[in-house]
Structure formats: C-alpha cells, structure tokens
C-alpha cells in the first residue's frame, strides 16, 4: 500500500477518518485510474514493479517452459526495483536475458544436430557475438521456411509461429541490446545512475521478451519431434 501511495496510484481520502493503515483511508488517484484502465489480462507491459510475487506467478503460468535460472534472476530484479536498487535490477535483468538467449541457442543447436555449428557457438565467449551468430544461423539456414510448413495443418500454430518470427526479426534484437547494454553499464564502476523509470520499463517488457524467446523454443522443440 505504501508503494502505491509513493508512486502516486492512491492518495488519502479526506472524507475518511480513522486508522491510516486501513485501506478505506485511501482512494485511487486520477493517475492510478488511468493506469488501471490501460491494463488488460493479456497485457505484455503490466506494471510489474507493484507486485513481484504475482508477476512471477503469472510469468510461470503464461510461459511454462521458461528457464528457472532466468526466472530466478528476474525475480531478484523485481525485488531490487521494489527497494530502489536500480543498478542491481539492471544487472540481474541482463543475466535473465542472457540465460534466455542461451536457452534458445541450445535448442537451435540441438535442432540441427550439427557438431560444426556447436563448435562455432562454443568458440565464442561474448553473448553479443553468440546472439549475432544465432541470427545468422536462423537466417542462413532458412529456419523460418523450414518450420512453417510443418505447422500448416494447424492454422493457429502456423499463424502463431509466423508472428513469432516477425517479432524475432524486428523487436527482439532491440530488447536484447537494451538488457545487455544496461547490464554492462551498471556492472562497471563508472559512477552512472540508473533511472527508476528505465528500470521499470525494462522489467515491464521482459514478459514480451520471454514470450518471443520461449515461444520460439517451444515451436522448435515440437518441430524436431514431427
């Protein structure tokens, strides 16, 4: 409740007299109402900083194949935001991002069962370089053209995979670099300050980030079994 008050979602109600700890002592502000009006059940940008436990639970329910290590790092990032530890949040969200990308890389390597491809990835240390190789592999080997026909009998799955590839080719690259750059900046003693609004926006978009990555993972794993 105190967090909602400090963030401007609720305010004291002058018409109510009594213990301020009682929820009836507060009422929704115009800002709080405007934010609630924008929230939908399937919203990828839910204000996650308000309730870390509920956010993690929803993420687990919506993305059942999410990597538990990535989830653990993201959970720590949310609690860091709650405690105004924004540099810690940037670092842990970067770790959650990297863990998720590596999970996708592992599935792509397994799909192709190509020792040479495996060696290429293992020779690379930088997550940025690994990500670039992942994009090149998906493009050069025509993974999109290879997978889509396998799901043509199921229109919903086919359309879902097609949308994931569009998201992968457009917004995933941007999201990946945001998490990577902010983690690197926060992880070096340069004296930089992390803005709370940036930290919150990064946390809010993590669900969308995961829906793309783990959605792709789910399709690739299923395709290998077909």
pLDDT tens by residue, the chain, 226 residues: 556 666 666 676 666 555 555 555 667 777 667 666 655 555 554 555 567 888 888 899 999 999 999 999 999 999 998 888 999 999 999 999 999 999 999 999 999 999 999 999 999 999 999 999 999 999 999 999 999 999 999 999 999 999 999 999 999 999 999 999 989 888 777 766 777 888 888 998 999 999 999 999 999 999 999 8
**Residue 172: DSSP 8-state:** I
Q: How far apart are CA 22 and CA 212, in angstroms?
A: 41
Token digits for 181? 């750059």
Flag whether the pTM goes above 0.95. Answer: no
Nearest to 169 by CA among 143, 188, 200: 143
Alpha-carbon torsion, ordered 50, 56, 62, 68, to 10 deg: 160
pLDDT of residue 84: 86
What's the N-to-C CA distance of the chain in angstroms? Answer: 50
Residue ranges per structural domain of the chain: 1-38, 46-225
* pLDDT score for 189: 72
Q: How much is the pLDDT for 212?
A: 97
The confidence score (pLDDT) of residue 170 equals 92
pLDDT at 19: 52
- Predicted confidence at residue 77, as pLDDT, reads 94
Contact 90, 182 (CB under 8 A): yes
């Amino acid at each position: 409740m105190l967090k909602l008050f400090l963030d401007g979602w609720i305010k004291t109600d002058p018409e109510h007299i009594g213990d301020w700890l009682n929820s009836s002592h507060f009422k929704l502000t115009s800002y709080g109402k405007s934010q609630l009006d924008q929230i939908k059940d399937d919203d990828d940008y839910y204000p996650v900083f308000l309730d870390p436990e509920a956010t993690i639970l929803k993420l687990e329910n919506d993305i059942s194949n999410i990597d538990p290590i990535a989830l653990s790092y993201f959970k720590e990032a949310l609690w860091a935001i709650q405690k105004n530890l924004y540099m810690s949040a940037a670092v842990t969200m970067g770790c959650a991002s990297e863990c998720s990308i590596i999970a996708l890389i592992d599935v792509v390597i397994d799909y192709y069962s190509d020792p040479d491809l495996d060696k290429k990835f293992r020779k690379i240390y930088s997550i940025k370089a690994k990500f670039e190789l992942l994009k090149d592999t998906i493009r050069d080997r025509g993974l999109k053209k290879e997978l889509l026909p396998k799901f043509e009998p199921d229109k919903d799955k086919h359309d879902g995979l097609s949308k994931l590839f569009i998201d992968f080719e457009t917004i995933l690259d941007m999201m990946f670099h945001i998490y990577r750059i902010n983690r690197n900046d926060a992880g070096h003693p340069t004296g930089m300050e992390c803005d709370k609004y940036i930290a919150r926006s990064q946390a809010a978009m993590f669900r969308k980030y995961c829906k793309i990555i783990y959605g792709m993972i789910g399709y690739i794993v299923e395709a290998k079994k077909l």
